[in-house]
Each structure stands twice: as C-alpha cells, then as structure tokens.
Amino acid sequence: MAVEATAPGKAILFGEHSVVYRGPAVVLAIDRRARVVARKRDDDRIFFDAMDLGFSGYFTGETYVPLQGESWRGKRLQAFLVAARKTMEHLGTESGLGITLRSDIPVAAGLGSSAALSVATVASVGGLLGGDLSQEEICELAYEGEKVVHGTPSGVDNNISTYGGVLRYEKDVGIERFELDGDLPFVIGDSMRKRSTKRLVDRVRMLREREPELVEGVLDSIVLVSESGLAALKANDLHRLGDLMNVNHGLLSSLGVSIAKLDMMVHSSRGAGAYGAKLTGAGGGGCMIALSDEASIEKINRAILRCRGEPHVVSVSYEGAKTREVD
C-alpha cells in the first residue's frame, strides 16, 4: 500500500515582508500542485526520489547517501526529512520510508513549492501510518520542515498549502479562509532568477535597523494596502484591486526587494492591459503577478515572454492538501 498526497502552491497577493512584522498577508492557492507518494520499507532508511529536482538518495540516521546527484543536494531534503520524522514522532510510530516527491510548481520562485512538498510529505506519511491527521496537525508539522529551510518563516506558505482557497493570514492571529465570487485570471511571470527568501527577509531587517522610522512607515503603508486589498477582493472590485497591487509593488521596491527584470515584467504587463501587477513573494528574482481579464491574458503572456520571463496563467485552487491510497 502507498499513500499519495497533493498540496497546492501559492501566490501572495498582498503583504509579503510586512507579514513578518505585523498585519495580514492575502494569499491565493494556485492550480499547480506538489505530489508526494509514501511507502513503508522493511529497513529503517528514509529514501527520497526527487528526480524532478534532479536527485535521489536516502538517509540512514543523519547520514545522507546520494544515489543520483551530489551529496550536498541532501540539504534540500532536510525539510522533508524533518517533516516525515516529526509526523512519525507525533503519531508515536517509526518506519523506514520510500518517499517520491514530484511538483509542477516552479522551484525557488516564491510560489510555495517547498511548503507544498512539506505539507504533502506530512499528509502522505500520516495517511500511510494510519494517523487521521487534522488540517491543523498537517499545517503545524509541515511548519517544522519549513523552519529548517527558511529559519523563522511567517507560516503563510504552509497554511495556504494546507487549506487552499484564499486566506487572510496574520502571524499569531490566525487565518480567515474565503472563496471568491468569480474566477479571477492571474498571470504569473517567472523571472527565472532563483533567490533565497531568508536572504531577502534579512535584507529588509537590516534596512529596518538602519532606517527604523522610514521602514516602519513603509510597513504601515503595506498593512493598509493589504487590508484595503482584501476588501477590494471580497467586493470583486478589480480596478481597485489593480491599483492596490501597483501601490504594493512600489512599496516593496522601496524596501529594495525588486530587481530590474521584475520591474520590467510588471510594467510591460500593465502596458498589456493588466488591472495591476506586482512582484509576489520575497522578490530578488522569483515571480510577479498580474491581474488580468480574459481578453488581456494573451497580451500579458506575450509581454512577459518579451521580457524573457516565463508566463503561467493560474487560477485560484480551492483544494487544499488531499490524500488517497494508491498501488
């Protein structure tokens, strides 16, 4: 018997970086998913097949033995190892495991691929070992894995990937999940530049230490934009939503987390008819997101391609983490 779990990636619509300090992030689950299959093994090794990421290997105790790819690649697997082990600890059981990781979420692009893989790892291992894990448990155990990669992430990624849909997420306050009236088409543009969330969060922290008053003012403005953005989203007011996305991009740029290529894709998408466009996630590379209407999707796609970005047309996915038995 094996158990497969899938979990969605995400795009932050408002509140990246400010959510680390205070206020809400407004975040969408997107129709791109991570897929993890877990099987029991007779020995006590934990095997990972991550051939989508270009490597496979196993852990025996703390030692990583690569089968394909170099040994340093094992670091990428630490989060999933921790997620699997914490799940077993939580269930009071232990087993050798064979874990297959697959994902159609672009990696290291701010679209939540690592959190989605952590969430799906917890859900599949939990399902395999007979634990009927609640969404809260899945979310919390996946966060343990996320901390290994990101230090002290705000928790937005594991929450959206567990619950799906649209979330207002605020650290130490919790989540509000809701569904939108219509289907909003978003175009995501991947700059194809990999970046580390932790490094960008550190950059903002250091700027805040050097210029506390200034940065506090910007963070306050982002919190205001996020609250207004949430209201516009609930009211399906696309013009206001677009304006607020544009303002949010400017505020993030002022914190030094945009790059020229993201700026170019953002401006070209607006020129191609987007209601609004902004970087999404930590910045420094990764992705931007444009709010479009059906008529402008193709033009925005072409605009992103002209900037040498990779466009993905996405819609909101209301399906959070899901498990099923497979052969």
Identify the active-site residue in 104, 132, 157, 237. 157
Is residue 308 exposed (0-12), middle (13-18) or buried (19+ Cβ within 10 Å)?
Answer: exposed
The smaller minimum CB distance to ligand PMV, of residues 115 and 133, is found at 115
When asked if residue 19 is in the footprint of ligand PMV (CB under 6 A), the reply is yes
Q: Which of 151, 89, 150, 164 is nearest to 119 (CA)?
A: 164
157 is catalytic: yes
Contact partners, residue 142, CB within 8 Å, separation at least 6:
83, 115, 118, 119, 121, 122, 158, 161, 162
Q: Does 153 bind ligand PMV (CB under 6 A)?
A: yes
Q: Which is nearer to ligand PMV, 105 or 247 (CB)?
A: 105
Task: Return the amino acid letter for 35.
Answer: R
For residue 182, the number of C-alpha atoms closer than 13 Å in the C-beta half-sphere is 10
Distance in Å, CB of 306 to ligand PMV, minimum? 24
Q: Is 7 in the site for ligand PMV (CB under 6 A)?
A: no
Q: Tell me: does residue 20 bind ligand PMV (CB under 6 A).
A: yes
Under the criterion CB under 6 A, does residue 110 sit at the interface with ligand PMV? yes
| Measured CA angle at 112 (ends 209, 166), to 5 deg | 95
What whole-number distance in Å separates Cα of residue 303 and Cα of residue 301? Answer: 5
CB-based contact 225:140 (threshold 8 Å):
no
Shortest Å distance, C-beta 96 to ligand PMV: 31
Which one of 1-9, 79-87, 270-278, 279-287 is the stretch in contact with ligand PMV (CB under 6 A)? 279-287
One of 3, 9, 17, 102 touching ligand PMV (CB under 6 A): 17
Question: Is residue 146 close enough to count as binding ligand PMV by CB under 6 A?
Answer: no
Q: Which CB atom, from 266 or from 272, has the smaller least distance to ligand PMV?
A: 266
Does 16 sit near ligand PMV (CB under 6 A)? yes
The correct pick among 6, 100, 124, 154 for binding ligand PMV (CB under 6 A) is: 154
The string over 272-305, giving b where at least 16 C-beta atoms fall within 10 Å of a residue's C-beta and e elsewhere, is bbbbbbbbbbbbbbbbbbbbbeeebbebbbebbe
Choices 16-24, 95-103, 241-249, 316-324 (CB under 6 A): range interacting with ligand PMV: 16-24
Assess 197 for contact with ligand PMV (CB under 6 A).
yes
**Which 235-264 positions form the footprint of ligand PMV (CB under 6 A)?**
none
- What value, to the nearest 5°, has the Cα angle with vertex 80 and ends 187 and 139? 70
Q: Which of 210, 292, 244, 97 is nearest to 301 (CA)?
A: 292
CB of 242 to ligand PMV, least distance (A): 21
Closest by alpha carbon to 252, among 244, 38, 191? 244
Residue type, 225: V
Toward ligand PMV, which CB reaches closer, 245 or 282?
A: 282
* Cα–Cα separations (whole angstroms), residue 310 to 78, 211, 288: 29, 35, 10
Binding positions for ligand PMV, 280-299, rule CB under 6 A: 281-282, 286
Q: Please report whether residue 201 would count as binding ligand PMV according to CB under 6 A.
A: yes
- Residue 205 has which token pair? 């922290």
Q: Which is nearer to ligand PMV, 56 or 197 (CB)?
A: 197
- By the 8 A CB rule, do 323 and 127 touch? yes
The count of residues interacting with ligand PMV (CB under 6 A) is 16
Residues acting as catalytic residues = 157
Contact residues: ligand PMV, CB under 6 A: 12, 16-17, 19-20, 110, 112, 153-154, 156-157, 197, 201, 281-282, 286
